[in-house]
Amino acid sequence: MDVAAADHLLTTTRSVRKRLDVSRPVDPAVIERCIEIALQAPTGSNAQGWSFVVVTDAAKRKGLAGLYKRAFGLYAGNTEMRPQYSADDLRAQQMPRVLDSATWLATHLHEIPVHVIPCIEGRIENAGPLAQASVYGSILPAAWSFMLALRPRGLGTAWTTLHLMFEQEAAAILGLPATVTQAALLPVAHVKGSDFKPAKRLPARRLTHWNTWGTHR
């Protein structure tokens, strides 16, 4: 395996919002291929209770985007819904750019040609930590693989969850059975340009604990 190519893919797959090309249609066969790749991810007990709902219908995308926009308005207008950092923290410095990009997405989501909703069988409202980790852990790796698979095909997306503030309304639009949990909403489109770079993140050493919490190398 080409380590440099794999590292490049893993370190430069960004949340793409403003650079999603709303004017170019997406080939359904490419979406199907990326889902096929995603299904190589692990699932708890090899249960494979996953599903990907692919929405191209304009009225349904408009419905989902309406829910998303309402949720984004509540999120953006309420600082208590977002983690707060001191002014010198890297994450505080990145926040204005992320919010600007996220605002664009909230305004244009209905125009993005494909919305993909990764779903998993099971509900965890009343479940303990093992069941919660197992249910979400059985769809999130596949969803991220799907995002990675889009990248070399010239497509991009951003992980989003805000529409889940109105989860039941979204489930009605999608015709989901009551036993199914939505994990995200991935707006997919061709990407303008390809010069993505690694993001600035908190240092790995600070976040790596050797043998006991708080022991760093």
Per CB under 6 A, residues contacting ligand FMN are: 14-15, 98, 102, 105, 158-162, 199
Residue 159 CB, shortest distance to ligand FMN, in Å, is 4
**Residues near 189 by beta carbon (within 8 Å), at least 6 away in sequence:** 20, 21, 22, 24, 26, 112, 113, 114, 155, 156, 157
Helix, strand or coil, per DSSP, at residue 118: strand
Residue 98 CB, shortest distance to ligand FMN, in Å, is 4
| Helices of type H across 39-166 | 58-76, 90-108, 129-137, 140-150
Residue number with CB closer to ligand FMN (98 or 133): 98
Residue 103 CB, shortest distance to ligand FMN, in Å, is 9
Paired sense of beta strands 155-156 and 114-121, if any: unpaired
Residue number with CB closer to ligand FMN (102 or 135): 102
Question: Partners of 51 in the beta sheet?
Answer: 119
Residue 95 CB, shortest distance to ligand FMN, in Å, is 9
Residue number with CB closer to ligand FMN (159 or 166): 159
First to last CA, the chain: 29
Residue number with CB closer to ligand FMN (31 or 184): 184
